[in-house]
Amino acid sequence: MAAPDRWHGFELIAPGTHRICVRDPDDAHYCLKFERPPHERPPAGPRERLRRRLAQRFPRFGDNAAEWRAWRRLHARFGDAIDARFARCTGLVATPHGLALRQRCVTDADGRPAPSLFALLAAPSPFDPDRLCEAVAAFERWLIEHRVPLFDLNAGNFVVAGDAAAPRLVCIDSKSLAAGKEIVPLSRLVPALMRRKIARRAERLRRRIREARASAARAP
Ligand SMILES: Nc1ncnc2c1ncn2[C@@H]1O[C@H](COP(=O)(O)OP(=O)(O)OP(=O)(O)O)[C@@H](O)[C@H]1O
Ligand SMILES: [Mg+2]
């Protein structure tokens, strides 16, 4: 088996667009997320650029603080039952490489970090796209039923747990719940708008899954 990639000596799990996710060296059941500096991130509008700059001096403006707030709110509402849908966060920890968010590492049946839906769509996998679409629909139903305004339903924010016959999505990035992009968050305040927005984003994710299947079928 190839040696794992490393980031500052940590075992790399996956590089995200905004954060790097590594194994917690003190306990392999957990991972640590480090925020990327502004110059490593994709371009953004003025408001987001300001937030990123502030986060460098004041961690409370950062992605990790946002996700820690979001997860604590979820836990306050739903208790430990939330573990089935959102990876458990245990806090912000100081390290020689800056402040990291410590989170339960979601694993597959062999104890390896579970693949993100994004990684599954980028390469051949044993997961049937229809089953993955059903897993998206199950998550969507739960969000709507419990009125959780999670709109950032992108494939990198979910890992796929469970086996190929019955995949289950676990959200490993809930920061958008505490750092919405709208100035007047109507879609969080008006239940019908919230439902529609969740449904639109879930449908977009299912479309991505079907498109990945279609392009895999066309590949030589
Ligand atoms: N708790 C976890 N268990 C297993 N893998 C994880 C976990 N958290 C993150 N990952 C992996 O790290 C990747 C990036 O994580 P995350 O979404 O938290 O960072 P990000 O910077 O917000 O990324 P992006 O902007 O690309 O969504 C995920 O797609 C996933 O592969
Ligand atoms: Mg993310």
159 CB less than 6 Å from ligand 1? Answer: yes
C-alpha of residue 152 to centroid of ligand 2, in Å: 8
Measured CA to CA, the distance from residue 68 to residue 41 in angstroms comes to 21
> Closest Cα to atom 28, ligand 1: which residue?
156
Helix axes 129-145, 191-218, angle to 10 degrees: 170
Q: Binning pLDDT at 50, 70 and 90, where does residue 215 land?
A: confident
22 CB less than 6 Å from ligand 1? Answer: no
pLDDT tens digits, 57-96: 999 999 999 999 999 999 999 999 999 999 999 999 999 9
Residue 57 corresponds to which tokens in the numbers above? 């001096």
67 CB less than 6 Å from ligand 1? Answer: no
Measured CA to CA, the distance from residue 81 to residue 200 in angstroms comes to 26
> What does the DSSP assignment read for 116-143?
BHHHHHHS--S--HHHHHHHHHHHHHHH
Query: At 90, which amino acid appears?
Result: T
Q: Which ligand is nearest to the CA of 118?
A: 1
Sorted by sequence, the CB contacts under 8 Å of residue 107 that are 6+ apart come out as: 29, 113, 114, 161
Q: What is the mean pLDDT of residues 1-18?
A: 88
pLDDT tens digits, 34-43: 999 999 999 9
Query: At 86, which amino acid appears?
Result: F
Best mutation site among 11, 12, 19 for ligand 1 pocket (most ligand atoms within 8 Å of CB): 19
Q: Binning pLDDT at 50, 70 and 90, where does residue 180 land?
A: low
172 CB less than 6 Å from ligand 1? Answer: yes
Per-residue pLDDT at 71? 98
* pTM for the predicted model, two decimal places: 0.94
| Long-range Cβ contacts of 203-207 (<8 Å, 24+ apart) | 204/153, 205/117, 205/136, 205/153, 205/154, 205/155, 206/133, 206/136, 206/137
17 CB less than 6 Å from ligand 1? Answer: yes
